[in-house]
Amino acid sequence: MLRPIAKIAIPIILLLSAFFLVSCDNQTNDTGQAFDPMESSIFKIADVKNARALEDLEVKAGASESYNTIATVQKGDVVRVLARIDDWYVIRLENYRIGCIDGRKTEPVVVSKTEARMPQPVIPERPAGTTEDKPVENIPGEGEKTPGGRRPEAPEEALDERDRTDSEKETVPAADNVDTGQENQLFSLINQERAKNGLPVLQKDSQLAGVARIKAQDMIDNNYFSHNSPTYGNPFDMMDEFGIEYQYAGENLAKNTSASRAHTALMNSSGHRKNILNPNFTHVGIGVKKAKQGYIYVEMFIGVPR
């Protein structure tokens, strides 16, 4: 049994330890006021809009190997994806017929609609006495079913910002009071972490950086700390609005007193660390803005497989 003095001493030691840990975590801003750092992260895989064939593929009349072959796709060809049915992609042929390919034998790529190649239709040899499967002639839409009898997860959308030329895309307005020094510091720290983990370094994206700066200023102007902006919606809506193309996207947010402290806090959080070390990301845009207390840090990541 513990002696009475030990029973008293143990809780006191634990209380002092907790106080010491909390005291070490406290920060002050440049005016000496107490400051509570904040972090938040979010990640998204976009619907596949274009896919590259990893081998020669048969285009089927429906979402199954049991359907007849109506066209072929050569290895390396890039096709426009209209929808997805389980592991199959619904694509459109040059004669506007709809067919399906096995999505497991492709990889996603980011290209404009005009760059995607439509497979040439072929007339396959048919066994005697068989009849042709009836393909779906229309693009899947509301109330319509795709080959295989299921509605697609992501029907084709109208031409959006990501399919416009550079001159047609909405330009990112210039942001005032940008702390480029801290932005460059964060960029270096991110790539140092990736290099230490055997990952390719990220490239700077000036247009994405402009969006990140606007997000940081929007957070200050509207007094919120969230991925969902009252002005632009979530970060993926915002990227779409400014014509940012991506297959993978993520955002890290931090409120802190310096770039090094913000980076350390982000790396100590599993969600933020995953974004920084995500092997699918290829580009980053960073925005740093001075707030009433400390700074707002916005890291926007995208993956653009080519």
Give tens-digit pLDDT for 255-282.
Answer: 999 999 999 999 999 999 999 999 999 9
Pairing type for strands 69-73 and 57-60 reads antiparallel
Give tens-digit pLDDT for 276-305.
Answer: 999 999 999 999 999 988 999 999 999 988
pLDDT exceeding 90 applies to what percent of the chain? 40
The mean-pLDDT minimum among 23-27, 209-213, 276-280 falls in: 23-27
The better pLDDT of the pair 220, 81 is held by 220
- Whole-prediction pTM: 0.59
Stretch 106-114: mean pLDDT: 71
Range 120-127, long-range pairs (CB < 8 A, 24+ positions): 120/71, 120/72, 120/93, 120/94, 121/70, 121/71, 121/93, 121/94, 121/95, 121/97, 122/69, 122/70, 122/71, 122/72, 124/68, 124/69, 124/70, 126/68
Q: Name the nearest CA neighbour of 153 among 102, 87, 92.
A: 87
Write down the pLDDT at residue 191: 97
Q: Out of 78-87, 134-143, 170-179, give the one with best mean pLDDT.
A: 78-87
Write down the pLDDT at residue 263: 96
Pairing type for strands 248-256 and 38-45 reads antiparallel
CB-CB contact of 304 with 110 (8 Å): yes
Mean pLDDT for the chain overall: 75
Q: Is 185 helix (H, G, I), strand (E, B) or coil?
A: helix
Indicate the residue type of 137: E
Output phi, psi for 15, to 5 deg. -65, -45
**Could you tell me the domains of the chain?**
47-109 (2.30.30.40), 176-303 (3.40.33.10)
Stretch 238-264: mean pLDDT: 93
Write down the pLDDT at residue 163: 43
- Confidence grade of residue 236 (pLDDT, cut at 50, 70, 90): very high
CB-CB contact of 212 with 190 (8 Å): no
The better pLDDT of the pair 112, 219 is held by 219
CB-CB contact of 80 with 98 (8 Å): no
Tell me: pLDDT of 137 over 80.
no
Give the separation between CA 26 and CA 240, rounded to whole angstroms. Answer: 38
Residue where the block lists tokens 């632009």: 232
Give the separation between CA 192 and CA 280, rounded to whole angstroms. Answer: 17
Give the separation between CA 301 and CA 248, rounded to whole angstroms. Answer: 8
Distances (CA, A) of 246 to 45, 78, 131, 271: 9, 16, 42, 20
The mean-pLDDT minimum among 126-140, 164-178, 227-241 falls in: 126-140
Write down the pLDDT at residue 79: 84
